[in-house]
Amino acid sequence: MKSEELRFIAIIPARYASTRFPGKPLAQLGGKPVVQRVYERVKSVIPNAVVATDDERIYDAVKAFGGDVVMTSPNHKSGTDRCWEAYQKQAQEYDVVINVQGDEPFIAQSQLRSIMACFDDEATDIATLVKPFAVEDGLQALQNPNSPKVVLDSASRAIYFSRSVIPYLRGVEPEEWLSRHTFYKHIGMYAFRVDALREVTSLPQSSLEKAESLEQLRWLENGYKIGVGITNVETVGIDTPEDLARAEEFLSAQ
């Protein structure tokens, strides 16, 4: 079944509690809450979209701008778990659940379509996005452990995710790596066939996941096929108040 025949729902996890930026989903960006910016972008491509939150302030804010929202448990350890609870509360069934982070107010329509297209391959259980590192990004960006890297196979499926630089270019000076090879930066948006989402939320943590603190390694270790869409669109995620200031500048420049 091709992607255009599948039934998609986008779920946007949005927590109030955040170590670096409490209340982030409700922070104002260009006169609208961040979560509203995300919701409107997603809704322009995927008509079935819902915010999943554990906080009544976010719930009320989404209702106020006319969005769909569900309350979920405050005890989830990941956005994936929150997505599964939110999906179970839907009145109808879907084929694929797209987990869109609630702090990505500039997510592009092309990125959403790219991740949806991964399901043209019937072997795809889960899908995600990557962006090629550019030479001008510099070695420091490539080596940043907070920016996971991904290696793909010939069918554009993920082989491995790592906080280290992968692959290692033997015999090449690190300063030349970006000009000698295409490295891929992981963009943390996921989509799951419903059966896969149900299954991965019940898997125990894996050894690789614990080592790198990347939950997608649990899925790879358990044999799930992760399709990868490639985007050249730069996103402006919001993790801190400083990120919000940069996002305001980015919005003003559009």
- One DSSP character per residue, 38-53 reads HHHHHHTT-S-EEEEE
SS3 content of the chain, % helix, strand, coil (to 5): 35, 20, 40
Report percent pLDDT > 90 for the chain. 81
* Residues 231-242, mean pLDDT to the nearest whole number: 84
pLDDT bracket for residue 16 (50, 70, 90): confident
Digit-coded pLDDT (tens) for 108-158? 999 999 999 999 999 999 999 999 999 999 999 999 998 999 999 999 999
d(CA 97, CA 105): 19
Range in 182-186, 230-234, 239-243 with the lowest mean pLDDT:
239-243
Count other Cβ atoms within 10 Å, centred on residue 30: 14
- Per the CB < 8 A criterion, the answer to whether 9 and 49 are in contact is yes
Which of 50, 94, 114, 61 minimizes the C-alpha distance to 197?
94
Question: Is this model's pTM higher than 0.75 or not?
Answer: yes
Q: What is the pLDDT of residue 86?
A: 97
- Per the CB < 8 A criterion, the answer to whether 193 and 96 are in contact is yes
91, two tokens: 């009145």
Tracing tokens 């559009």 back to the chain, one arrives at 254
Tracing tokens 């990868």 back to the chain, one arrives at 228
Which of 74, 188, 178 minimizes the C-alpha distance to 136?
178
Q: Is the pLDDT of residue 235 over 80?
A: no
Digit-coded pLDDT (tens) for 37-83? 999 999 999 999 999 999 999 999 999 999 999 999 999 888 899 99
Q: What is the pLDDT of residue 54?
A: 93
Which of 201, 7, 34, 14 minimizes the C-alpha distance to 90?
7
For residue 167, is the peptide bond before it cis, meaning its omega torsion is within 30 degrees of 0? Answer: yes
* Domains of the chain from N-terminus onward: 1-107 (3.90.550.10), 110-187+202-234 (3.90.550.10)
